[in-house]
Amino acid sequence: MKLSSLSGIRKLSWAAAIIAAALTVATVSPPALAAPQPHAAGTPSSSNNKVAEAPASAPTRPASLGPLKQSQLEVPGAANPINWVRITNRFSGRVHASQCLDVDINAGGANGSKVQVWQCNGSQQQLWFWWLDGYLESARFRGKCLDADLIGGGANGTRLQLWSCNGSSQQVFWMYANDLAIYNERFYGGGNTVADRNATIPGNGAQVQLWQKNFQSQQWWSVTCAGNTCARPD
């Protein structure tokens, strides 16, 4: 069920904020937290995984998402969708130099596939196309989007998973300028609910979930362009 409108604060130019985040690594971080290191080669999340570069062009937009929302097309630069990105978690307790938003490929991209953090390795399950109106489509599993599990109702621990792109509000995510958090449209919680990685697992496989915003590093994310394929705003 689509939300009919956003609250006043959510009517900020969040599309422009996502563009800024996608073109540069987020620059605001507490002094105690070192910036993520460059992606290091590592063990992929499955032995049959292969490292792949970002495609040279944008994917065909899933028909189920419909056209870009007119309200966002009115934002300067919105005619160019955000391109291929990698999303890095900045958890200070991580055991690897960098950990990326990753789809567990053991489920083959089926609806409900686990979304986790995994050592950044350049693989396609760590590559996303962030459409300007907020949908994050998987490169490894085309037509599948990052999705907040409705069963969790937005409560702490609500799973983020892979699901067929369907244009629903639980598949819309964005960031604000000067903010390292990722927000979900369906479960916005007045700005108090954000994407979070399970901090009890510092290594590979930590579940990505929604959680009450607590300003801890497991809720901090950096978005970077993958390769040299970023679309820049007009």
User: Does the structure show a pLDDT above 50 at 161?
Assistant: yes
Place of tokens 């489509």: 137
Over its C-alpha atoms, the chain yields an Rg (Å, rounded) of: 16
| Closest residue by Cα to residue 165 from 139, 190, 191, 136 | 136
> For residues 131 and 82, is the Cβ–Cβ distance under 8 A?
yes
**Residue 38: exposure state from Cβ atoms within 10 A (0-12, 13-18, ≥19):** exposed
All structural domains of the chain, each given as residue ranges with its CATH number in brackets, are 8-28+62-225 (2.80.10.50)
Which range is least confidently modeled, 25-34, 55-64, 174-183, 200-209?
25-34
Q: Which two tokens stand for residue 87?
A: 């999303």
To the nearest whole percent, how much of the chain has pLDDT over 70? 65
| Closest residue by Cα to residue 200 from 184, 211, 189, 187 | 211
pLDDT tier for residue 24 given thresholds of 50, 70 and 90: very low
211 vs 29, higher pLDDT: 211
- Distance in angstroms (rounded) separating the CA atoms of residues 98 and 149: 26
> For residues 93 and 202, is the Cβ–Cβ distance under 8 A?
yes
Q: What is the pTM of this model?
A: 0.72
Tell me what pLDDT residue 174 has. Answer: 84
72 vs 177, higher pLDDT: 177
- Distance in angstroms (rounded) separating the CA atoms of residues 176 and 179: 5
Query: Can you tell me whether residue 180 is helix, strand or coil?
Result: coil
- The residue-averaged pLDDT of 203-220 equals 96
pLDDT tier for residue 55 given thresholds of 50, 70 and 90: low
pLDDT tier for residue 61 given thresholds of 50, 70 and 90: confident
Tell me what pLDDT residue 96 has. Answer: 86
- Distance in angstroms (rounded) separating the CA atoms of residues 221 and 134: 16
pLDDT tier for residue 68 given thresholds of 50, 70 and 90: low
- Distance in angstroms (rounded) separating the CA atoms of residues 102 and 120: 9
Q: Which two tokens stand for residue 161?
A: 């998973």
pLDDT of 216-227, one tens digit each? 999 999 988 775
